[in-house]
Chains A and B, each alone.
Chain A
C-alpha cells in the first residue's frame, strides 16, 4: 500500500531487563491511524490498562513519528509522546519539535516504546538498531540541558550527530507537570511526561542513525519543499519576525487575556505593552530559533541584559508569556524571560506552572494563606522575584510547592476549599485564553482529550472572529466548530508536521492529495479528516474506559462569573450554556448524552473491534 513514509518498525525497550526488540507495525494500522498521535492512541488502547497509575511500573511511554517526520520537506520535525499522564491521571498525548523525531526515522524507527523500570538512573542510547545504557547516578538534580551535555560528552561525535531527550529536577521530584526536553529547547511540555520518565529512572535518551527516511517520490518531494519554502517566506513572515508573542496584544485587546489568575480578561494596554512582542524584539531579542528543516524559525531567543533579572535567557512563546505574565499580574518581559528560563532549568511546563503560581498569588491576596504556610515566602501578583522563587519551591516540593507540585487534582484533593481558584478541565490547567471571551474555547477545553488544551481541544479564536456564521459569545454552532477543529488537528498531529506550516501543504479540512502521495505513494487526502475523527473517537473511547464521562467535560466555577472589566465585560459561561454546547457537540460526534461514542459511530470509523477489545 505504501511505497514511502514509513519504515513500519517499532523499537521496544524493557528498562527492567535491558532487553530490546524490533517489531513490525502492521500496514493496516498505519492506514487507519496515520502516525504519531494516531498510532500512539491505538498503541495505548492495547497496552496501558485503565487501572494503571501514571507512576506504576506498568505504565509505559511511547514515542511515535508521523509519515512526514524527518522527510526532506519543510518543518517535518514533530513526534508524539503517549502515556498515562500524572497531571490528569488519564491518557496523555503531547507533541514536540526538535531533532529527535527525525533522528528516530534515520535510525529506522516509526515508534519507540519504553516499558518497565531501570534499577539505577540511566540514559538510553539508540544507534541504528543497537541500544545501550549509560548508567550515571551523579546527574540527579541536573537541568535538562546539563544532563544532555553530560550524556553527549560520553558519546562519539557528540557535537554533530545525536538528538536527545532529557529531564530536570522537577521530574525527579515527580512534579505532575514536569516536561521532557528535546535537544536544546523544545519540549513535550504538557501533562507530566517528564515525571513518568523519571519514575522509570531514565534521565535522558539519545538517538542517531544513518538510514534514509523513505519517501515514495523524492523528486516530487523536492518540488513540494521548494514551493513550501516560497509560500512560507511570505505567509509566515510575521511569524518569523515576532513569533507567537505578538498574540499578547491582540488577545488582550479582544478581552481574552488571563489576568491575575483569570479574575479578569483584560489589562490596560499601557501596562501590557511591557510584554508585547515588540518589547521582546526591541529590548531582549538575540536571535531566531529554528526547529528541524524549518525556514520559519519562529522561536525568539531573548536575553535580559540589565536589571534584577540580568543574564536570564529564554524563548518565550505566547502561552508562557500569558500565564507567567499577566495571569501572575506581571507585565515585565524581563521577569517573564527569567521565569521561563527557570521553568526550563527545573524542567517544568511553563503553562501549568504559571497557572498554579497565579493560584498561589490569589490565595495570598485573599488572605487564605500566609508566608508561614510557604516556608517564609510571600507570593503576590506582580512580584517577579517571588514568582521565580515559587517556581523553585514547586520543583523542590518546598512550602506550598509540596502541594502545588501535585498539579490541579492533587491540590484539590488536599485543599478542596481552593478548587474555585484553579482554572482547569480534567486536571490540566487552562491555556492563555479565557473562554468567557470566546465561548468556543470553553467547549474546546471541556472536551479536549487531554484536559484544557488549545491545541488538542481546538483553537477556536480565529474562526470565532472570521467565520460569518459564528458569534464569539454565542453557544449555538460551537459543537460543530470544535469537532471540525479537533479532527483537523488530530490528523495534523499524526503527520509529523508543525501546525504553523500546514497551510503551505494545504492540510486544511479539505486537504489536497499532492504531499501525502509524494511521501507515501497513497492518496490519503480524501481520508484525512475521517482519520482525524477516528483518532478523536478512539481517544474518547480510551477516556470513557478510564471513567471519564459528561460530568468531567466541565469548566471551573470561575467561568460562571461575569468578566468584570475590559472588552468582554459582562460575559460568562454558565452550566446551562456549556450544556447547550456539549449537547450539540455530542450529537455531531455521534456520542450519546453522556459523551460515549455510539455503536454506529464506532462502526462507521472502523473502531468496533478496538471498542470490543477495550
Chain B
C-alpha cells in the first residue's frame, strides 16, 4: 500500500477537526485516484474554495496518470487572496 499524508492548513484544520490524516492507496495508484479520496474526506475541491497541493505543486498540475509514491504529502488550504 502507498501512504499519503494529507495536511489541513488555515481554516480547514478547524473545519476538518484535525491537522492531518493518512490515506492508504493501492500500489500503482495515480494522481487521478487521489482526488476522489480527498473528496471522500469531506473536502470541497472547487478551486474557488480550496487549493490542493501535492509535493508543492497544484494537484491538477500533475499528469493524472503520474504514479503516487509512499510518504508524499498533500496540503489543502482555503483559497484566500492576500490582504
Binding site for B on A (CB under 8 A): 235, 238-239, 241-244, 246-247, 249-250, 253-255, 277-278, 298, 317-319, 431-433, 454-455, 459, 462, 465-468, 470-472, 499-500, 503, 567
Is B39 positioned at the interface, with any CB of A under 8 Å from its CB?
no
CB-CB under 8 A for A499 and B9, given A238-B15, A466-B60: no
**SS class of chain B's interface: helix, strand, loop or mixed?**
mixed
Residues of chain B within 8 A (CB-CB) of A466 are 47, 51, 58, 60-61
Complex-state Cα separation, A432 to B13, whole angstroms = 23
Residues of chain B within 8 A (CB-CB) of A454 are 82
Complex-state Cα separation, A470 to B62, whole angstroms = 11
CB-CB under 8 A for A462 and B83, given A246-B78, A468-B61: no
Residues of chain A within 8 A (CB-CB) of B51 are 250, 462, 465-466
Complex-state Cα separation, A247 to B9, whole angstroms = 9
Pair A465/B80 contact, Cβ less than 8 Å: no
Contact of A239 among B9, B12, B15, B80 (CB under 8 A): B80
Pair B83/A242 contact, Cβ less than 8 Å: no
Binding site for A on B (CB under 8 A): 7, 9-15, 47-49, 51, 53, 56-58, 60-61, 75, 77-83
Pair A499/B81 contact, Cβ less than 8 Å: yes
Residues of chain B within 8 A (CB-CB) of A433 are 82
Complex-state Cα separation, A247 to B82, whole angstroms = 7
Pair A278/B14 contact, Cβ less than 8 Å: yes
Q: B40 to nearest A CB, angstroms? A: 20
Pair B82/A465 contact, Cβ less than 8 Å: no
Residues of chain B within 8 A (CB-CB) of A499 are 81
Pair A235/B56 contact, Cβ less than 8 Å: no
The 5 closest A-B pairs by CB, nearest first: A246-B10, A244-B83, A238-B11, A317-B83, A250-B77
Complex-state Cα separation, A238 to B58, whole angstroms = 20
Pair A244/B80 contact, Cβ less than 8 Å: yes
CB-CB under 8 A for A238 and B78, given A254-B56, A471-B61: yes
CB-CB under 8 A for A246 and B61, given A318-B83, A503-B48: no
Pair A250/B9 contact, Cβ less than 8 Å: yes
Complex-state Cα separation, A238 to B44, whole angstroms = 13
> A249-B77, A318-B82, A467-B61 are known contacts; what are 17 more A-B pairs with Cβ within 8 Å?
A235-B48, A244-B80, A246-B10, A247-B82, A247-B83, A249-B10, A250-B51, A255-B56, A278-B13, A278-B14, A317-B83, A318-B80, A455-B82, A465-B61, A466-B61, A467-B58, A472-B57
CB-CB under 8 A for A247 and B80, given A238-B11, A503-B48: yes
Pair A254/B53 contact, Cβ less than 8 Å: yes
CB-CB under 8 A for A319 and B82, given A246-B10, A246-B11: yes
Q: A300 to nearest B CB, angstroms? A: 10
Pair B75/A462 contact, Cβ less than 8 Å: no
Closest A residue by C-beta to B46: A235
Q: Give 14 pairs: A residue, B residue, CB < 8 Å, sorted on A.
A: A238-B10, A247-B10, A249-B9, A253-B75, A277-B10, A298-B83, A317-B83, A318-B83, A431-B82, A454-B82, A462-B79, A465-B53, A466-B47, A466-B58
Q: B73 to nearest A CB, angstroms? A: 9
Pair A250/B81 contact, Cβ less than 8 Å: no
Complex-state Cα separation, A594 to B9, whole angstroms = 42
Complex-state Cα separation, A467 to B62, whole angstroms = 11
Pair B82/A432 contact, Cβ less than 8 Å: yes
Complex-state Cα separation, A278 to B12, whole angstroms = 10
Pair B82/A250 contact, Cβ less than 8 Å: no
Residues of chain B within 8 A (CB-CB) of A471 are 57, 61
Complex-state Cα separation, A431 to B12, whole angstroms = 24
Complex-state Cα separation, A448 to B53, whole angstroms = 28
Residues of chain A within 8 A (CB-CB) of B7 are 253
Complex-state Cα separation, A52 to B15, whole angstroms = 53
CB-CB under 8 A for A462 and B61, given A250-B10, A250-B75: no
Closest B residue by C-beta to A469: B61
Q: A310 to nearest B CB, angstroms? A: 26
Pair B12/A238 contact, Cβ less than 8 Å: yes
Q: A491 to nearest B CB, angstroms? A: 16
Central interface residue in B48, B82, B83, by most chain A CB within 10 Å: B83
Complex-state Cα separation, A503 to B47, whole angstroms = 12
Q: A412 to nearest B CB, angstroms? A: 26
Complex-state Cα separation, A599 to B78, whole angstroms = 43
Q: A481 to nearest B CB, angstroms? A: 14
Closest A residue by C-beta to B77: A250
Closest A residue by C-beta to B53: A465
Complex-state Cα separation, A321 to B12, whole angstroms = 20
Residues of chain B within 8 A (CB-CB) of A462 are 51, 79, 81
CB-CB under 8 A for A244 and B82, given A238-B11, A249-B10, A467-B61: yes
Q: B79 to nearest A CB, angstroms? A: 6
Complex-state Cα separation, A323 to B83, whole angstroms = 12
Pair B82/A241 contact, Cβ less than 8 Å: no
Pair B9/A500 contact, Cβ less than 8 Å: no
Complex-state Cα separation, A298 to B82, whole angstroms = 12
Closest A residue by C-beta to B78: A238
Residues of chain B within 8 A (CB-CB) of A247 are 10, 80, 82-83
Residues of chain A within 8 A (CB-CB) of B48 are 235, 503
Pair A246/B9 contact, Cβ less than 8 Å: yes
Residues of chain B within 8 A (CB-CB) of A455 are 82
Closest A residue by C-beta to B7: A253
Complex-state Cα separation, A319 to B83, whole angstroms = 6
Pair A246/B83 contact, Cβ less than 8 Å: no
Closest B residue by C-beta to A299: B83
Residues of chain A within 8 A (CB-CB) of B81 are 244, 459, 462, 499-500
Q: A460 to nearest B CB, angstroms? A: 11
Complex-state Cα separation, A462 to B47, whole angstroms = 9
CB-CB under 8 A for A277 and B11, given A249-B77, A470-B61, A471-B61: yes
Complex-state Cα separation, A467 to B58, whole angstroms = 8
Complex-state Cα separation, A433 to B48, whole angstroms = 20
Residues of chain A within 8 A (CB-CB) of B47 are 466
Residues of chain B within 8 A (CB-CB) of A503 are 48
Complex-state Cα separation, A556 to B14, whole angstroms = 38
Contact of A459 among B49, B78, B82 (CB under 8 A): B82
Pair A465/B83 contact, Cβ less than 8 Å: no
